[in-house]
Structure formats: C-alpha cells, structure tokens
Amino acid sequence: MISNADRKTNAPAKPVIEPRVRTITTADLRDALWRGYEDFMAQPSHLVFIALIYPIAGVVIAQLTVSYNIFPLLFPLLSGFALLGPFAAIGLYEISRRRERGMNSSWAHAFAILKSRSIGTILALGGLLTGLFIAWLLSAWLIYRWLLGGMPVTSISDFLGEVLTTPNGWTMIIVGNALGALFAIAAFSMTVISFPLVLDKHVDVATAIRTSVAAVEANPRVMMIWGLMVTGLLILGCLPVLVGLVLVMPILGHATWHLYRKVVER
C-alpha cells in the first residue's frame, strides 16, 4: 500500500512558469519615465530622504580616493557605482508597487523588503552586482598598472596631465572605457528588470536573470535607448557636485518599476 507521504514524494513537480516578455516602443520608455516622475512628486520629501544615500556615497568615494591617494580609481569608482543602482533602488520599487495597489507608501515602507520572502534572492542578485563592481575596479587598476604603473601620483592634476598628454594615457582611456562598457552592458542585461521581477513574482535568481536578458533580446533598440537615457540622466545628476542624483535616482528607480510592468506580462 502506498502511503500519502509516498504519493507526495512521487508526485511530479509543478513546472516552473517562465515570465513572458513583451515588445515595447520608445513611447513606453517616455511613459515609464513620466510615471516615475509622478511617483516622485506624490511624496517628494520621502523619496529625497531615501535618495540622499546616492550623492552622499559619491562624495565619500571621492574623498576616499583623495585621502588615500588612489586617484586612478576615482573615475572607475564613480562610474562603477552606477552598476549597483538597480540593487540600491529596491526600496523605491517597493514604494511604486504599493502605490500601484493603492496601499500606504510612506518612506518607511521602502524597508518592508527586508521582510519579503524574496529577500534571499534580492541579496543574491545584489551580491552578483557587487561582484561585477569589484571585478570592474580590479580590471581598471590592472589597466592603470599596465600602462601608467611607474608614474608617481601626488595630485589629481598630475594624474590628469599624465593621462591626457601621453600615448599610454590615451590608450588607458580607450581600453578602460571599452572594458567598462562591457561590464555595463552585462550588468544592464542581467538586471534591467530582474529586481522588480523578484520583488513582484518571487522568482529565483536564474529566472530573474533569464527574463531580464530575454527582455533585452526582445527589445534591443528600445533597451539600448533606455540605457543611454539612464546614462545621460545620471551624468546630468552628477554635474552639480552629485546633488542632482537626489532627484535623478528616485525618478529612475520608479521608472524602472513601470518599465518592468510594460515589459513583463502580468
């Protein structure tokens, strides 16, 4: 006789239903950005409070490079910091999710993700992005040591002079930016919608990454435009001594949630 426990053990596993992605247009990008702006304007004081972490972190990074005389890592640190953006914005996705459902969406609810049953997956994805960030810094340092390793760096002006006026300096700029672009494309493809997907549907890491990559493959031109839009807005936000990130980061964070809603079928 087969017991109930045996029946459960021998029962076939339920098939995993992969999220389905849609084809979107540039009009969807504009709408997602506008909806992100609306989310920000609904509670700007709360979101500015949350977003202060971005310019503060940027200033700390810049100060550390000066204090420890590691000027060659200043640009890689600031540019690579954007790789962690999708992870750092997880609280903003939660606020947009709650607003979408008509729930209370005060800034305190940004920390509700700590109690989410997907917190392990969220941390795993964050760890993956952190690994990419560290790999990028290591690569940038090795390129610097390879091309300008013998140069004593005493000030940022001396460093910039060597970089901008020597063949090796220009080689470092070209090689470093090309490699940085590869890291950015990899991080973008794997995480453009993966964090909102995990928060919403509680999928595992592999499913989240596969769906994010599938979204990019299904919409290569539109996703390229979105990546350029994000890069352009981040540059604008950095110009006034990183203060603009207080506005840019929360708007982009909320817009990413709405982009996810447009790309992944409910």
- Res 214: pLDDT: 96
| Confidence band for 98, pLDDT divided at 50, 70 and 90 | confident
Query: For 132-151, how does the pLDDT look when each residue is reduced to its tens digit (9 = 90+)?
Result: 988 998 999 899 888 887 66
pLDDT value of residue 8? 45
CA separation for the pair 83, 234 (Å, rounded): 12
Q: What type of residue is 50?
A: I
Assign 12 a pLDDT band (cuts: 50, 70, 90): very low
CB atoms closer than 10 angstroms to residue 236: 13
Q: How far apart are CA 7 and CA 255, in angstroms?
A: 47
More confident residue, 165 or 198: 198
Distance of CA 159 to the CA centre of its chain: 29
User: What are 119-130's pLDDT values in tens digits?
Assistant: 999 999 999 999
Q: DSSP string spanning 236-249? A: HHHTTTTTTHHHHH
Q: For 211-260, what is each residue's pLDDT tens digit?
A: 999 999 999 999 999 999 998 888 887 776 666 777 888 889 899 999 99
Pick the closest to residue 253 from 198, 213, 193 (CA basis): 193
121-139: burial string, b at 16+ Cβ within 10 Å, e else: bbeebbebbeebbeebeeb
The separation between CA 199 and the C-alpha centre of its own chain, rounded to angstroms, equals: 15
Residues in a beta bridge with 264: 21
